[in-house]
Amino acid sequence: MNLIITKDYEELSAKAYEIVKKILLEKPDATLGLATGSTPVGLYKLMAADCKKGEVSYKNVKSYNLDEYVGLGVGDEQSYVEFMRKNLFNHIDIDLKNTHLPDGMDADMQKACDRYNEMLANAEIDVQILGIGGNGHIAFNEPGTSFDSVTHIVNLTEKTIEDNARFFDSIDEVPTKAITMGIANIMAAKSIIILASGANKADAVFAAVKGKIDESCPASILRTHKNATFIADIEAASKL
Ligand code: F6R
């Protein structure tokens, strides 16, 4: 795994975009794996600004997101689909038909998981963007999740609910379940960029980069990927 330590969040976003832009210029019909959360927002702003300048087009790009809350979907402000529209899709020339997120609104959640797994099996993600949870989670794969997991329903841990409460009016509004790509789906990407910013990620970054490769830190598996890049700012990397 390549490790890049940046002086701040701005440089972290720029480094991530450098890699993404290269892929998009080489392959205008690339397939992107996308994440929500605060960390990739700087990257998404750079993607949007460059698209506006006409440097990069997303007309032939497809995207697959990592996860969605169960019970939230289009029209729900806190849903991940709305997050993606607000922070990226509405600002680039991507066709919304080519954007995919797991369906948190299906009455039969197992069917929704199976459908997403099938879609992913027929796609090849050129670059998967990831953030990391304070407990080392990737997507909503919490510590203890099998490295062989595929798209599944998770009960969110108390820590993740607390971490995500900042996006809601109150902690009671945070959904308790999510539908998430599994670790095996993530590892199938041709390349992976994982981003970590801020001191609250320092323990997770240490566990992912220097700890044992095991299921207690889901992000540690990325060290076995043939083309993964970990980009951490100096605060997130402070325990390395
Ligand atoms: C989001 C996701 C999560 C976040 C992680 C970090 O789609 O899958 O794993 O990447 O919780 O979130 P932030 O970036 O808000 O610190």
Which pLDDT value is given to residue 157? 84
Å from CA of 140 to ligand 1 middle = 8
Strands of 67-69's sheet in order across: 67-69, 177-180, 152-155
Residues with Cβ within 8 Å of residue 234, at least 6 apart in sequence: 5, 6, 7, 8
Of all protein residues, the one whose alpha carbon is nearest to atom 15 of ligand 1 is 37
pLDDT, tens only, 155-180: 998 888 998 898 899 999 999 999 99
Of all protein residues, the one whose alpha carbon is nearest to atom 12 of ligand 1 is 37
Pocket of ligand 1 (CB under 6 A): 35-39, 66-67, 131-133, 137-140
Q: How far is CA 79 from the centre of its chain?
A: 14
Does residue 71 register a pLDDT over 90?
yes
Percent of the chain with pLDDT over 90: 95
Helix-helix angle 41-52:9-26, to 10 degrees: 50
pTM: 0.97
142 is catalytic: yes
Fold classification of 2-218 is: Rossmann fold (3.40.50)
Å from CA of 44 to ligand 1 middle = 14
Of all protein residues, the one whose alpha carbon is nearest to atom 1 of ligand 1 is 36
